Amino acid sequence: MNTVLVLIALLTVGAAVAALSGRNLLHSVLLLAGAWTGAAAFYLWAGAEFVAFAQVLVYVGAISMVVLFAVLLTRRSRDDLAPGPASRVRAGYALLTGAAVAAVLLAAGARTTLTPASPPPPVVSVSQIGGLLMGPYAVDLLAAGVLLTLALIGAVVLAAGDRPGNPDDAP
Amino acid sequence: MSPAATTNEPILERAPVLLRDWLTGSLPERARWVVNSLIAIAVLLAVFGLLFAFLTLAERKILGRIQNRPGPNRTGWFGLLQPFADGIKMLTKEDIVPRTADPVLHFLAPVAVLAFSILTFAVIPYGRHLVPVELDASVLYFFAAGTATELAVFMAGWSSHNKYALLAAMRALAQLISYELPLLLSFVPVVLAAGTLSTTGIVAAQAGWKWHSVPHWFVFTPWGAAGFVIFMISALAESNRSPFDLPEAESELIAGHLTEYSGFKYALFFMAEYFGMCALSGMAVTLFLGGWQAPLPVLEVIPSYAWFAVKLLGLLLGFIWIRATLPRLRIDQLTRLAWKFMVPLALVNLGTAAFWSLTFAWAGPLQLLRWGVALALVAGPFRLLGRGLSAGLGPRTYRYA
């Protein structure tokens, strides 16, 4: 069982590292989609079917599309690569910040005591998840929904501007 | 193919399971599971591979007849060997990769598109005992696997390094973002009514007949009929079929993302398109048309998988008929139809379904009121939104020089 986990972890982290280090933006987005699929595979391995499929549906299906759309619409040409690190000093700062975050995470991980034999994961059906989301967690769900709607409206307001309508754009 | 057949069913109903058990019965438990799964995969690939082959022939024949020409009729009887001739031609053609193309993505795209469209076949219940994989959230799995195919279309278009292909990739993205929403929203009422996300559960919820003649299929309720139509229109768009075949659009984009593909890679795209069409039709049958249930109690003599096949073929012929009848939309018309018409309708349909399930206990004259309110909830928004969509377009007048 653990070899499967190690394989999933290697694939996910490998795809993420390749996405970050690559200079071709389109490749990075596709690799990122691969990393998200890896996360979904991990959920599946952990027995959380619903979360795994939702992850693929939302991240691989929708969010990667939006990212690709944004990349394609904003680049001037196909060979317009991501800018490299401007100077060694900036690269140093970036490394320093990354190392600090990694240290905090590692410290947190080292302090957690892991039970050697984990109990069997609880079997949760989709209808139970639905009941929980509509019952005890209804407020959280609504808050997340309102937040996302506000962000969406804000994005529309920012993007729309107040240009006069072009009569040629009429249907 | 997991559930065990009970012995009081007709022999034809149990035949596939009996045959499989006869083949693998003597194997040890663990090996048996593996071999059973392999058999299910092989049967699925063989059946849908052949269906794909003859569907291409049927499409060419039917399109031909609708356009008043005979269609392929030179290879074999009525052109029955045409798919095989096409297959051999595709296999022997040269595989061309443009010099400036992205070679890895150019290779990966046809593989990915086919792999993901095959994945969707796993959760459809083909018969009473013929469910390849039973999952608790199988509907979600189906749509999760299906969304990844458009990503592959984008990969194909972008990696070809060709302006037509890139345009096709952009169109494919816009189309997916637009039609994903009505497709997903249209099946939510079914989940609401059936109370489960598993395909077997949804089929089981549509069992039985009213007055021994009207089946309890969801399509025979006001919200079900509306949901079915929304689902089928979105399915047309998701599988890049005419009138939503903008990513390929032979007449304007010279086949779009397929421009730089030849030989067997092209055939793989073609196969994936038909597989996607079959899978979405199979899902529509499962969600709205009662799955493998027979339409009348008397007709239960005919095995369930035959009923599934009849419904599936009916929907596929509908796809072909629509392709022959309707002209292609423009990209702005396509997205407007999705966002201003289909998405609001699907959302209202959710409310209709909620009303329908809340008034489950109404009887007598109240039943009439229930139907009236539900039909008004379906037809009213349709009229209003339709008027908004076609405002200012009016009937066109053509003046000839």
Whether B179 has its CB under 8 Å from any CB of chain A: the answer is: no
DSSP sequence for B84-123: HHHHHHHHHS-----TTS-HHHHHHHHHHHHHHHHHGGGG
- Cα(B378)–Cα(B372) distance, rounded to whole angstroms? 10
Q: Is residue A112 part of a domain?
A: no
- Cβ B180–A60 below 8 Å, yes or no? no
Residues of B in contact with A81 (CB under 8 A): none
Least CB-CB distance to A56: which of B144, B154, B332?
B144
Kindly tell me the burial class for residue A74, based on how many C-beta atoms sit within 10 Å of its own C-beta (0-12, 13-18, 19 or more): exposed
Predicted pLDDT of residue A104: 93
Question: pTM (2 decimals)?
Answer: 0.82
What pLDDT, in 10s, does the model give residues B284-343?
999 888 888 888 777 777 888 888 889 999 999 998 899 888 888 888 888 888 888 889
Whether B332 has its CB under 8 Å from any CB of chain A: the answer is: yes
What pLDDT, in 10s, does the model give residues B147-175?
777 788 888 888 888 888 888 888 888 88
Predicted pLDDT of residue A163: 59
DSSP sequence for chain A: -HHHHHHHHHHHHHHHHHHHH-S-HHHHHHHHHHHHHHHHHHHHHTT-HHHHHHHIIIIIIIIHHHHHHHHHHH-SSTT-PPP--S-HHHHHHHHHHHHHHHHHHHHHHHHSPPPSSPPPPP---HHHHHHHHHTTTHHHHHHHHHHHHHHHHHHHHHHHTTPPPPGGG--
| DSSP state for residue B79 in the 8-state scheme | G
Whether A69 has its CB under 8 Å from any CB of chain B: the answer is: yes
Which residue, B180, B317, B174, is CA-closest to B246? B174
Predicted pLDDT of residue B127: 81
Q: Which residues contact B259 (CB under 8 A, 6 or more apart)?
A: B160, B162, B164, B165, B168, B253
Whether B392 has its CB under 8 Å from any CB of chain A: the answer is: yes
| DSSP state for residue B286 in the 8-state scheme | H
In a shared domain, residues A8 and A74: yes
Q: Is residue A105 part of a domain?
A: no
Greater pLDDT, B60 or A170: B60
Check if the beta carbon of residue B310 is closer than 8 Å to that of residue B281.
Answer: no
- Look up residue B145 and give its two tokens: 């696997």
* Cis omega (within 30 of 0) for bond into B243: yes
- If one counts the domains in chain A, the total is 2
> Which of B142, B153, B170, B173 is the best substitution to test chain A (most A C-beta atoms within 10 A)?
B173
- Cα(A158)–Cα(A147) distance, rounded to whole angstroms? 16
Cβ neighbours, 10 Å, residue B151: 24
Q: Is residue A96 part of a domain?
A: no
In a shared domain, residues A60 and A131: no
Predicted pLDDT of residue A96: 92
Least CB-CB distance to B195: which of A33, A78, A127?
A127
| CA B159, chain centre distance (Å) | 27
Give ∠ CA A11-B150-A14 in degrees, rounded to 5: 10
pLDDT, block means (10 residues), chain B with 401 residues: 57 75 76 82 88 88 88 81 86 84 84 87 84 82 82 82 82 82 88 84 82 81 88 87 75 75 84 88 89 79 84 91 85 84 90 85 79 83 82 74 68
- Cα(B286)–Cα(B183) distance, rounded to whole angstroms? 15
Listed by number, the residues of chain A in 125-164 with a beta carbon closer than 8 Å to a beta carbon of chain B are: 125-127
> Would you place residue A84 in the very low, low, confident or very high pLDDT band (cuts 50, 70, 90)?
low
Predicted pLDDT of residue B1: 46
Please, what is the end-to-end C-alpha distance for chain B in angstroms?
A: 65
What pLDDT, in 10s, does the model give residues A43-60?
888 877 888 888 888 888
> Would you place residue A105 in the very low, low, confident or very high pLDDT band (cuts 50, 70, 90)?
very high
Q: Which domain holds residue A127?
A: 123-161
Place of tokens 């269609």: B71
- Cβ B136–A126 below 8 Å, yes or no? yes
> Would you place residue A100 in the very low, low, confident or very high pLDDT band (cuts 50, 70, 90)?
very high
Predicted pLDDT of residue A79: 60
Whether B245 has its CB under 8 Å from any CB of chain A: the answer is: no
Domain extents in chain B: 11-359+368-384
- Cα(B247)–Cα(B240) distance, rounded to whole angstroms? 7
Least CB-CB distance to A50: which of B105, B137, B151?
B137
Return the percentage of chain A with pLDDT > 90, whole number.
14
Listed by number, the residues of chain B in 214-243 with a beta carbon closer than 8 Å to a beta carbon of chain A are: none
Q: Provide, for chain B, the percentages of residues in helix, strand and coil under a 3-state DSSP scheme, each rounded to the nearest 5.
A: 70, 0, 30
Least CB-CB distance to B173: which of A30, A65, A127?
A65
Which residue, B117, B174, B171, is CA-closest to B143? B117
Q: How many CB pairs under 8 A join A and B?
A: 77
Whether A41 has its CB under 8 Å from any CB of chain B: the answer is: no
SS3 label, residue B22: helix
- Cα(B289)–Cα(B309) distance, rounded to whole angstroms? 12
In a shared domain, residues A73 and A131: no
- The minimum CA-CA distance between B333 and chain A, rounded to whole Å, is 8
Predicted pLDDT of residue B2: 46
Which region holds residue B363: left if phi is over 0, alpha if psi is between -120 and 50, else beta?
Answer: beta
- Cα(A117)–Cα(B363) distance, rounded to whole angstroms? 57
Q: Does residue A16 carry a pLDDT above 50?
A: yes
- Look up residue B283 and give its two tokens: 């899902």
For B142-223, strand residue ranges (E) read: 209-210, 214-215
- The minimum CA-CA distance between B136 and chain A, rounded to whole Å, is 7
- Cβ A61–B158 below 8 Å, yes or no? no
Q: Is residue A53 part of a domain?
A: yes
Main-chain phi, psi angles of B93, to 5 degrees: -75, 155
